[in-house]
Amino acid sequence: MRLSDSEWKIADCLWNNGDMTITELTKELRPVTGWSKNTIITMLKRMTEKGAVTFVQEDKAKRFHPAIDRTEAELEETESFLDKVYKGNVGLMISNLLDSDKLTDEQLAELKRIIREG
């Protein structure tokens, strides 16, 4: 299941904080996104329809829960990115990262460790 950038923000909030109401999501996301409660309601409706979130109706509020696993979503997003940008070629992606001089020494050491252990 592919998530839009906006849906990722909501899913990430739920993955990090656990189940949340619309009010809680609005309070958490408004400072970083500027989204109103209505925007979040619209996004949650769309995400519920596509099976990305579920909810439980409590007294006056719905409590939303991510219906997709974070690790699986990250893997799918990574594969999609690799296919779209690098035609699935991981080596080309790593080469471009190295050529860009954007990797810190710590990131480069981590990448080398991952390759050695992989």
| Cross-sheet strand order for the sheet of 53-57 | 20-21, 62-66, 53-57
> Quick one: DSSP state of residue 52?
S
User: Which residue, chain included where needed, has tokens 């860009």?
Assistant: 100
**What dotted CATH number matches 70-117?**
1.10.4040
Is it the case that residue 2 has pLDDT exceeding 90?
no
How confident is the model at residue 41, as a pLDDT?
97
Burial class (CB in 10 A: 0-12, 13-18, 19+), 86: middle
DSSP helix/strand/coil, 108:
helix
* Mean pLDDT of all residues in 37-55: 97
How confident is the model at residue 100, as a pLDDT?
87
* Residue ranges of domains in the chain: 5-66, 70-117
pTM for the model stands at 0.81
**What dotted CATH number matches 5-66?**
1.10.10.10
Question: pLDDT tens digit string along 65-116?
Answer: 999 999 999 999 999 999 999 999 999 998 898 888 888 999 989 988 988 9
How many residues in total does the chain contain? 118
Is it the case that residue 118 has pLDDT exceeding 90?
no
* Mean pLDDT of all residues in 7-14: 97
Q: Among the listed ranges 18-32, 51-65, 99-113, which one has the minimum average pLDDT value?
A: 99-113
